[in-house]
Structure 1
Amino acid sequence: MMMGVAGTGASSTVRQFKLVKESELRVEVGADSPIRIRLASGTAEIFGTELPPENWVSFPPLHKFAIFTWNGATLDVDGTTEVEYVADETPMISYVNVHAILDGRRARAKEAYTTASADSVSLPVQKESQGPRVIVVGPTDSGKSTLSRMLLSWASKQGWKPTFVDLDIGQGSITIPGCIAATPIEMPIDPVEGIPLEMPIVYFFGHVSPSGHADLYKVLVKELAKTLERQFTGNSEARAAGMVINTMGWVEGVGYELLLHAIEAFNADVVLVLGQEKLYSMLKDVLKTKGSVDVVKLHKSGGVVSRNPKFRQKARNHRIREYFYGLSNDLSPHSNVVSFNDVTIFRLGGGPQAPRSALPVGAEPLADPTRLAPASVSLDMLHQILGVSYAKEPDQVISSNVAGFIYITDIDMQRKKITYLAPCPGELPSRFLLVGMLTWFES
């Protein structure tokens, strides 16, 4: 077995790693160049998705991942990495045991609705026909999104189509940061290309932290939960497959309050706590009155890497760039021009507050989190990402998801024209645009 760590400037010649069963190769790709990896023999997987045998797979810069083998494997690595090493202590056995329990619950849920259908029972949807609703919680850099991907990929490998819900606005696993989103997972998640975007439901929050906008965050979480509940009511298969919910790493104070809100909004019945005894104890205590909620403590992987603010910002920029240009710069976004009068831009929440003189004595003015505040076009919107709402009327904007995003590249105040970049040609699907504080400087 090849041990040791290759630091920055490691050799870019092909290295071979022989992994024994239940061990993994942990890799951090540098910021400047991609690497290639090939499964030479045996079987191995990345976050629950099997590597194809004998084929070179390219991984772009800034990727951090682990290649795990259940029975042993030989891997070839070509290219310069920041870090690469083999580890034989992993929490994978406990993770796959969780998957097995969830799989059993899905099977029972499917059996319940199949039996009801065979008996031609026309009754409201029964709880027994509901698959597991798993919410993954833990502090920053505890491996929440990685565990979520594993559980989703393993479930889809068994033929299920679980729903992935991503509440982590800081990074964004389904679409760009600053959003909460959900999408069905029909096949194991590609370790490079990530989650396919055929049918996502996306709500634009417009910020990478809920700080200062917690009430708006709650409103959008509730809207997403209601939308999924309606879909599940009419889709027994999706209901039985259940959902896996990824959350933010903010677990104290307001962050903890938002976690409890999400658990309630989605009717989560399994809470997986990664990497913090205190959070596990608090949730166990507060949820004990709800006998139908299982709180499970799991160890985080030793391969989880702490990401500093600079790295997080760089990763966010990569996610946004990928939305417009594709993973390998293989997409061609379109530049368009629109008049100020042809669009209506709203800033969700934090609208003008009522003056103190209009309030009862002693009352403090509060911003309505669901208030639609019209936003005048200004040079401050340059380099901002705006959401394009599906809403047909202004009063539908809060409850409507978005069709996609545009990037403001130029604002001509004299001619009253906005130049923007869109991922596809043609007119915008709506005149209603949403602005927050999500900026991107194209490089």
Structure 2
Amino acid sequence: MASSRQFKLAKESELRVEVGPDMPLRIRLFSGTAEIFGTELPPSNWLSISPRSKIAVFTWNGATIELDGVSEVEYVADETPMVSYVNVHAILDARRAQAKASHSNNVDSLQGPRVIVVGPTDSGKSSLCKMLLSWACKQGWKPTYVDLDIGQGYITIPGCIAATPVEMPIDAVEGIPLEMPIVYFYGHTSPTANGDLYKVFVKELARTLERQFSGNAEARAAGMVINTMGWVEGLGYELLLNAIDTFNCDVVLVLGQEKLCSMLKEVLKTKPKVDVVKLHKSGGIVMRNQKVRQKARSLKIREYFYGPINDLSPHSNIVNFSDISVYRIGGGPQAPRSALPIGAEPVADPTRVVAININRDLLHLVLAVSYAKEPDQIISSNVAGYIYVTDIDVVRKKITYLAPCPGELPSKLLIVGTLTWLEG
């Protein structure tokens, strides 16, 4: 075990740390003030940072940071884009205040800023989102965080489109506090599996949030911060434009890609109220290959059941095949071939909800538990949570599954996609 060591940071510099794959690392603020992704470190308290985490401890005025444990990479950087990020925050803050004032003055109520953070894979999108959210919370706002990144899944698990109000700066260890998340289970980690369904869920989520904002002036003024996928070409680019439009975004922050920025400026110039702003990505960004990204997904699912620092105890339960119904969204032809024009091929219906037979194909899959009462409500209903199928006894017609808490499932309707996990 490496002994504890200290790093003295000059003002506006940061300590960048990559934690190894096996052991957590402890960190504490020895003196001065510092923050991790916009959340201030408490003085003198040791924090455990989970394995494979990558963090940047930034100080505005100078600090001494102490580390204890093994890390793969640790160094101090004095060139960071933080000043430009905090300048963006100041502009957003002024817009929130303006929106709030317009509401209390009974003039035409303005909406608060709707910020969408875009950029290629590994450009620091989720880190910037956390900073903007945490800084807004420090000013007393309760912005809404929207996560459209099905590949990683920062609000619950990968394969989901989700949103949650953020009322406190985001905890460096625990992550985003979940009070009342709205979650739609897309069920795949790439939009190519069903691009039309992805759009449908984006629309459902936007509609739900608009309803909430219409009855909550405070949330409307606080606005939203939207995280997106790192796929910014082809279908990925199309889905990006669709999200900007669907959520009625007025600030587009482009991280680290000139080409994407100029493309968006060109296509959005007809919308005078949309600001497209290019920002530099942090020099601490680490490019991850497919294997590392897959591992991060797996860890995210594990975290859902066991907690970020293994502090939760999930429950194993058994249920009869007859007590549940499992559905897949998408697939099945829209019309029989006989009803189509000559030579036309039947097209799979991307939003068709199909009941599936329960068999061993479900082993090691993560299923979502829907709040829907009937199958035709599945697409418009958000999910209560997830279970992980650990065993299927076809002879006795029983499923063994892992759930985050004991007791009966809140619903008998389960949704399956292609999200697998090998516990280990």
Task: State whether TM-score is above 0.5.
Answer: yes
Query: Does residue 16 in structure 1 map to residue 6 in structure 2?
Result: yes
3-state SS, counterpart of residue 66 of structure 2: strand
3-state SS, counterpart of residue 191 of structure 2: coil
Aligned to 2:216: 235
What amino acid sits opposite 1:66 in the alignment?
A: A
Deviations 1:159-205 (A, max 9, x none): 00000000001111110111011000001000111001221111001
Q: Retained in 2: the 8 A contact 1:166–1:181?
A: yes
1:166-315 paired onto structure 2 within 5 Å: 166-315=147-296
Query: Does residue 35 in structure 1 map to residue 16 in structure 2?
Result: no
Aligned to 2:79: 89
What amino acid sits opposite 2:3 in the alignment?
A: T
RMSD: 1.2
Runs (4+) of structure 1 exceeding 6 A deviation are none
Deviations 1:18-64 (A, max 9, x none): 11010000000000101111111111000000001111111110010
3-state SS, counterpart of residue 438 of structure 1: coil
Aligned to 1:152: 133
Q: Describe the shift of the 1:153–1:224 C-alpha distance in structure 2 as closer, same or farther (beyond 3 A).
A: same
Aligned to 2:308: 327
What amino acid sits opposite 2:57 in the alignment?
A: I
Q: Retained in 2: the 8 A contact 1:135–1:244?
A: yes
- Aligned mates of 2:308, 2:418 — CA distance in 1: 24
Query: Does residue 404 in structure 1 map to residue 385 in structure 2?
Result: yes
Deviations 1:284-324 (A, max 9, x none): 00000011111111010000111111111111111111111
TM-score (norm: length of structure 1): 0.94
* CA positional deviation for 1:95: 0.3
What amino acid sits opposite 2:291 in the alignment?
A: K
Aligned to 1:112: 102
- Aligned mates of 1:160, 1:31 — CA distance in 2: 36
* CA positional deviation for 1:115: 1.2
- Aligned mates of 2:183, 2:410 — CA distance in 1: 15
Q: Retained in 2: the 8 A contact 1:352–1:373?
A: no
What amino acid sits opposite 1:276 in the alignment?
A: Q
Task: Say how many residue pairs are matched.
Answer: 424
Aligned to 1:70: 60
Deviations 1:94-153 (A, max 9, x none): 00000000000000000011111xxxx8xxxx4x43100000000000000000000000
- Aligned mates of 1:434, 1:351 — CA distance in 2: 16
Judge which range, 335-344 or 189-198, deviates more: 335-344
Query: Does residue 139 in structure 1 map to residue 120 in structure 2?
Result: yes
3-state SS, counterpart of residue 211 of structure 1: helix
Judge which range, 189-198 or 358-367, deviates more: 358-367
- Aligned mates of 1:226, 1:361 — CA distance in 2: 39
Q: Describe the shift of the 1:173–1:85 C-alpha distance in structure 2 as closer, same or farther (beyond 3 A).
A: same
* CA positional deviation for 1:354: 4.0
- Correspondence for 1:52 among 42, 53, 56: 42
- Aligned mates of 1:272, 1:313 — CA distance in 2: 26
1:381-420 paired onto structure 2 within 5 Å: 381-420=362-401
* CA positional deviation for 1:357: 3.8
| Structure 2 portions without partners, runs of 5+ | none
Q: Retained in 1: the 8 A contact 2:332–2:348?
A: yes
* CA positional deviation for 1:280: 0.4
- Correspondence for 1:363 among 344, 350, 362: 344
| Structure 1 portions without partners, runs of 5+ | 1-10
TM-score (norm: length of structure 2): 0.98
